[in-house]
Amino acid sequence: MMILGIESSCDETAAALVERGEIVHASVVASQTDLHAEYAGVVPEIASRAHVERMLPTIREALARAGVGLGMIDAVAVGHRPGLIGSLLVGVSAAKALAWSLGRPLIGVDHVHAHLYSGMLRPTEASGVEAVAFPALGLVVSGGHTSMYLLESWTDVKRLGATIDDAIGEAFDKVAAVLGLPFPGGPNLDRLAASPGTNAQACEFPISRIAPGSLDFSFSGLKTAVLYAARGVPGARGAPAPELTAARRADIAASFQRAAVEAVILKLRRALDGPANGVGTLVAGGGVTANSLLRARLSGLAAERSLRLVLPPPSLSIDNGAMIAGLGYHLHGAGRVADLSLRAVPTSAL
């Protein structure tokens, strides 16, 4: 079964062709980073206009790269929630038009749910990914979400905890802006933190715990602590903040990254000692799983707890259409097919 996956929830216009929910024949992502860079953040109106311009060329390019004609598509899956409403509407409208004109099923996919699935995708028939043994613990760390889930199957997912303020990716982006790094902040901060001679212990930033046993996340306190470390505490009578030299910026970046990643690992441990006790697999997805320190710490945790870790390659950590088509296959198998009344919704259903 060949599914066309369409994604337009934020600032990436993406389309992919995925067979049997696994084999990625083509995945095309048209990033709008250049359009939003001068505003240091995504401007919704610019994003939706760019989606309108790029949607059809992106779908055409995916079809061409896969060598697949429209008639060979068995279903059309689209990320219809959560996201910027104007952006989502472009993908949803394109998917409806294609599904209707081809007489093929339409599948509405939750973008956050699809991030959880992204580690199951592979480029060719030859490189197989073993099926996941459920229940599994799930983690989504992205620009809009930071959550943990208990998965009973790919379609039966229960949320264990979520951020009560900022998402981790948002914190990376804001901290990067405070340190004067260009947009998009997360990958640039990752690179700066990894520069030679950097000390990740230089600043004692808070690792949020919230309350004993809490499975929720919080990153706003950490973000403020970084701001004060970089610019000084407002009204403080003590010593002013050290000069923000290149070395100090790198130390702050590394110290922030360590605290943010440790907060995620701490909550995963709590989940593994609590409601996810006994799971054999940890599945993780979302843009921040491209982070080098987080990838290393997740591998370490998996080894320590004898867990199988399912992680997307960095190219599928960030938003893409392949994860939408991949999860769409399982939703279709479970009979969760939409009709032309499918709506774009700003919030996640998970």
328 binds, options ligand KG4, Zn ion, none, Cβ within 5 to 8 A by partner type: none
| Cα gap 192→185, rounded to integer Å | 10
Reference 320, options 155, 129, 123, 185; nearest CA is 123
The β-bridge partners of 310 are 283
138 binds, options Zn ion, ligand KG4, none, Cβ within 5 to 8 A by partner type: none
Identify the residue among 117, 172, 219, 256 touching ligand KG4 (CB under 6 A): 172
Minimum distance from residue 154 beta carbon to Zn ion (Å): 17
Minimum distance from residue 212 beta carbon to ligand KG4 (Å): 28
Max Cα separation, the chain? Answer: 71
- Measure the CA dihedral 281/286/289/294, to 10°: -80
The answer to whether 5 and 58 have CB atoms below 8 angstroms apart is no
Sign of CA dihedral 202, 295, 143, 87: positive
The nearer residue to ligand KG4, 155 or 315, going by C-beta atoms, is: 315
Q: Token match 């032309």: residue?
A: 340
User: What is the C-alpha radius of gyration for the chain, rounded to an integer number of angstroms?
Assistant: 20
The nearer residue to ligand KG4, 287 or 326, going by C-beta atoms, is: 287
State both tokens at 76: 């059309």
The answer to whether 325 and 5 have CB atoms below 8 angstroms apart is yes
The β-bridge partners of 255 are none
The answer to whether 223 and 171 have CB atoms below 8 angstroms apart is yes
Identify the residue among 8, 32, 87, 142 touching ligand KG4 (CB under 6 A): 142
The β-bridge partners of 91 are none
Which stretch in 48-56, 118-126, 272-280, 311-319 sits in contact with Zn ion by CB under 5 A?
A: 311-319
Q: Does 186 bind ligand KG4 (CB under 6 A)?
A: yes
Q: Does 169 bind ligand KG4 (CB under 6 A)?
A: yes
Minimum distance from residue 142 beta carbon to ligand KG4 (Å): 3
Which stretch in 126-134, 141-149, 262-270, 300-308 sits in contact with Zn ion by CB under 5 A?
A: 141-149
Q: Does 138 bind ligand KG4 (CB under 6 A)?
A: no
253 binds, options Zn ion, ligand KG4, none, Cβ within 5 to 8 A by partner type: none
Q: Token match 């009344």: residue?
A: 341
172 binds, options ligand KG4, Zn ion, none, Cβ within 5 to 8 A by partner type: ligand KG4
Binding string to ligand KG4 for residues 269 to 288, with x set by CB under 6 A, is what? Answer: -----------------xxx
H or E element: which one contains 100?
A: helix 85-102
Q: Does 109 bind ligand KG4 (CB under 6 A)?
A: no
The β-bridge partners of 195 are none
Q: Does 142 bind Zn ion (CB under 5 A)?
A: yes
Minimum distance from residue 61 beta carbon to ligand KG4 (Å): 20
The nearer residue to ligand KG4, 69 or 196, going by C-beta atoms, is: 196
Residue 280, exposed/middle/buried by CB under 10 A (0-12, 13-18, 19+)?
middle
185 binds, options Zn ion, ligand KG4, none, Cβ within 5 to 8 A by partner type: ligand KG4
The β-bridge partners of 2 are 19
What residues line the site for ligand KG4 (CB under 6 A)?
Answer: 10, 142-144, 169, 172-173, 184-187, 190, 286-288, 290-291, 318-319
